[in-house]
């Protein structure tokens, strides 16, 4: 990991022992994930964890907006869930993290327990689109999409419907896999309910806020 990342981590850490422990766990998980993925030929069996720079940005935004209610689609081994839960826990918030794969969610549970954040996260083994379709209107501060990208357009309009006005939709990999997210990006950009931008951090984060009050 670069010096820049180490500095960024220290800068968001507020100097608590618990925060330092969490950051050390995250750094170790990230390094382990890179090594695991480099040795795994099957893309679907890789962890494909969010880049620390993108996770840091989202952690700052979550805390800045006072988020307490968040869902992520695509848990993997819980790396991004630990980042988000750590930010949400500061306001007694909750994360719903959804993955179709029960085995990766078992790893996530172990990692969340190691971080002391298991109580902040509901892990649900299910299809992300099915879960989004059943969530109530306007109940989320933040929705993070990090699963199989070509599925996202089929989930429309739920990624917008579930957000409160002023809520945030974040989508990873929009610069690393532009063709796979093109249809979803077009939906976002055409929506009169959203204002969006793409941030060149990590693999490219699409950020969109739901307009209205």
Ligand X SMILES: C[S@@+](CC[C@H](N)C(=O)[O-])C[C@H]1O[C@@H](n2cnc3c(N)ncnc32)[C@H](O)[C@@H]1O
User: Among the candidate windows 14-22, 48-56, 183-191, 193-201, which touches ligand X by CB under 6 A?
Assistant: 48-56
Site residues for ligand X, 108-137, by CB under 6 A, read 127-128
Site residues for ligand X, 54-93, by CB under 6 A, read 73-76, 79-80
Min separation Cβ 102 and ligand X, Å: 10
49 near ligand X (CB under 6 A): yes
Hunting for tokens 């795994």 — which residue is that? 40
User: Among the candidate windows 116-124, 134-142, 146-154, 197-205, which touches ligand X by CB under 6 A?
Assistant: 146-154
Residue 124, CB-side half-sphere exposure with 13 Å CA sphere: 16
Q: Which is nearer to ligand X, 72 or 141 (CB)?
A: 72
Angle at 135 between CA 152 and CA 128, to 5 degrees: 35
Q: Which is nearer to ligand X, 23 or 48 (CB)?
A: 48
Residues 170/59, Cβ–Cβ less than 8 Å: no
Helix (H, G, I), strand (E, B) or coil at 29: helix
Pairing type for strands 140-145 and 163-171 reads parallel
Angle at 35 between CA 86 and CA 21, to 5 degrees: 30
> For binding to ligand X (CB under 6 A), which residues are involved?
48-50, 73-76, 79-80, 98-101, 104, 127-128, 146-148, 151
């Amino acid at each position: 990991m670069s010096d820049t990342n180490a500095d960024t981590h220290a800068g968001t850490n507020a100097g608590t022992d618990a925060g330092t422990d969490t950051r050390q766990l995250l750094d170790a998980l990230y390094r382990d994930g890179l090594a695991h993925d480099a040795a795994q030929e099957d893309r679907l069996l890789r962890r494909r964890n969010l880049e620390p720079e993108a996770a840091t940005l989202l952690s700052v935004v979550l805390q800045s907006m006072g988020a307490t209610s968040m869902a992520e689609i695509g848990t993997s081994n819980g790396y991004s869930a630990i980042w988000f839960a750590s930010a949400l826990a500061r306001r007694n918030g909750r994360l719903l993290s959804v993955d179709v794969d029960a085995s990766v969610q078992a790893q996530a549970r172990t990692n969340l327990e190691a971080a002391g954040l298991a109580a902040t996260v509901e892990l649900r083994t299910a299809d992300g689109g099915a879960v989004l379709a059943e969530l109530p209107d306007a109940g989320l501060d933040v929705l993070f999409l990090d699963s199989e990208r070509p599925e996202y357009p089929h989930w429309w309009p739920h990624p917008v419907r579930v957000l409160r006005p002023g809520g945030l939709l974040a989508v990873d990999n929009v610069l690393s896999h532009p063709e796979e997210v093109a249809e979803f990006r077009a939906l976002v950009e055409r929506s009169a309910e959203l204002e969006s931008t793409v941030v060149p951090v990590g693999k490219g984060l699409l950020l969109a806020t739901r307009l209205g009050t």
